[in-house]
Each structure stands twice: as C-alpha cells, then as structure tokens.
Amino acid sequence: MTHLVLLNDSPLELVDPLLLTATSYGHFTSVQVRDGQVRGLDLHLERLDRSSRELFGHGISADRVLSYLRTALARSASGDLSLRVTAFTRDRAVLDGTPVEPDLLIAATDPIEPTSEPPRLLAVEHERTTPHVKHTGTFSLTHAIRRARLAGYDNALFYDRHGHVSEASVWNICFAVDDRIVWPAADVLPGITMLTLQAGLDAITVARETVDISLTDLAGYRAAYLTNSIDPALPVASITTPAGTTQYEPDSQSAALISAAYEAIPPQKI
C-alpha cells in the first residue's frame, strides 16, 4: 500500500505537531493520477495559485507544484496514485496581512476506485463558507455525511436558505433533462471535474445551462449525476427532501453524453 507524505519535496518520517494546527487554515486540491497523467491538471495548478494568492497573499508557481508531484511519483515508484496537495503556512504573520509563501503538503496514497453504487442522498440545508475556495475547513461536510448515514442514507445533498440545490458533500451535481445538462446556479465550489465536464460538453456541442434548481424541481429531471475527481459521473439513485423522495432510473442517453464530454478533454502528463 502506498502512503507517502512530503513537506514541499522532503519526506516526513514523523509528523510535526505544529502541522496539526497550521493546516487548519489552508486550501487543497486532490487528483487521481493514472499512468502519470491527470485530467484537468492545468485547472488544479491554477486553483492552487489563485487560492494561495487569496489566503496567503502569495501565489504558487505551476513549476513548483509539478516538481513536488514528480518527486512523489518517483518516490512512490508508481504512475497510479491518489494525490492531495495542501497549501498552508506556519508563519502567523499571515494573520496581519503579510504576504507569506505557503508550504505544500503532498500526500500520496493508492489510487481510489470510483463509487460502485448509485447513492441515496438526503437533502440538508447547508451553505459552504467561502465556497469558491477548496479550503481545509471540512468539519461541516464530514458532519453532514455522518448525519445522512445515521438517518439511513448514503450521503448528503446541500440546498441553500432559498431552497435551491447547490452541491453534495464532496461532489458537484448536475441534472439531465431533454438533450441538455443542467448545473445549479447556487454558490458552489467550482470543482475541477465539473469544469472539465463543462468544457467537454462544449467541445462535443451538447447544450448545458446553469439555473436555479429548487427542491421542488427535482422530479422534473430525468437523471442526476455527482462529479468529482474520483467519480466523474456517478448516477444518483434518489434524493430525499422534506417534501418527499425523487427516484432516478438509469438513463443511458445522458450517461453517454457525460462520458463523451469527460473523454473529450484529454489527461495531461505531470
């Protein structure tokens, strides 16, 4: 089993206790590497740089990230990995607004296989803090998953204070209707796989739109799909809201469209 942690480009044999507090303020991105390649790699690199400028006042160059990722691949001796890059700082000057170059924590584990069964989602009201940043404050997401599972469901779907669907706990969500794919207009994390799929839909000229999706609209869609780096297009079995449950049957037409869109954007070599 692969389990490697690098601080910048140096392996960590023992965890520095300061890391446990320092990494509470930071951001991250997760990638699935296959044969040394990542789909949407340029978007991951852009995310790391943009979020670091916002959180630390100092960007992260693509060359720096790629150098560390290549070190992780070389030390793991495998081209198939799950990698998580976390940007953080131990310099408290960042709290005063001083620009600080962040450290990068690179965690490499065995590749994660896609979810095998369509999940049953429980809709819960939740609005992500600073939704455009994939930050390390994931307590509320994890707690929502636990609550959903204790209630007998597989995971949680979020809606905002206006009753509009936003995203799921660790996925974006989209819906199929007629010959187009629909994305929620609520504030969400702009997931890399979501952006990749949207670019792919444009490339194969499949109509897409972003609209407000109320909980009462769910039954009007033919299918729903969760998307992240592990599950590019995971079909949803059902969504339970305070008003009742919407069941979704397998839909080969929309599944084929999303698969084609994903394949239309080729992976990039690290």
The backbone torsions φ and ψ at residue 75, rounded to the nearest 5 degrees and listed phi first, read -70, -30
Query: Could you tell me the residue range of the domain that residue 203 belongs to?
Result: 120-265
Structural tokens at position 125:
């009201």
115 domain-assigned: no
pLDDT value at position 4? 79
β-strands 10-11, 3-7: how paired?
antiparallel
Query: What's the total number of domains in the chain?
Result: 2
114 domain-assigned: no
Structural tokens at position 142:
């994890």
Distance separating alpha carbons of residues 56 and 25, to the nearest angstrom: 10
The mean pLDDT of 40-52, rounded to a whole number, is 98
> Does residue 173 sit in the same domain as residue 79?
no
Question: Is the whole-model pTM more than 0.75?
Answer: yes
Do the beta carbons of residue 111 and residue 80 sit within 8 Å?
yes
77 domain-assigned: yes
> Does residue 255 sit in the same domain as residue 140?
yes
> Does residue 92 sit in the same domain as residue 222?
no
Structural tokens at position 15:
């965890």
270 domain-assigned: no
Residue 162 has pLDDT above 90, yes or no: yes
Residue 36 has pLDDT above 90, yes or no: yes
- How many C-beta atoms lie closer than 10 Å to residue 22's C-beta? 19
CATH number of the domain that residue 25 is part of:
3.30.470.10
For the stretch 176-229, pLDDT in tens is 999 899 999 999 999 999 999 999 999 999 999 999 999 999 999 999 999 999
Do the beta carbons of residue 40 and residue 196 sit within 8 Å?
yes
Domain endpoint, select from 109, 137, 167: 109
138 domain-assigned: yes
Domain endpoint, select from 61, 88, 109: 109
Structural tokens at position 110:
């065995």
Residue 1 has pLDDT above 80, yes or no: no
Residue 13 has pLDDT above 90, yes or no: no
Task: Give how far the C-alpha of residue 39 lies from the chain's centroid of Cα atoms, to the nearest Å.
Answer: 13
Domain endpoint, select from 84, 109, 134: 109
> Does residue 96 sit in the same domain as residue 12?
yes
Q: Is 64 helix (H, G, I), strand (E, B) or coil?
A: helix
For the stretch 95-144, pLDDT in tens is 999 999 999 999 999 999 999 999 999 999 999 999 999 999 999 999 99
CATH number of the domain that residue 127 is part of:
3.20.10.10
> Does residue 146 sit in the same domain as residue 259?
yes
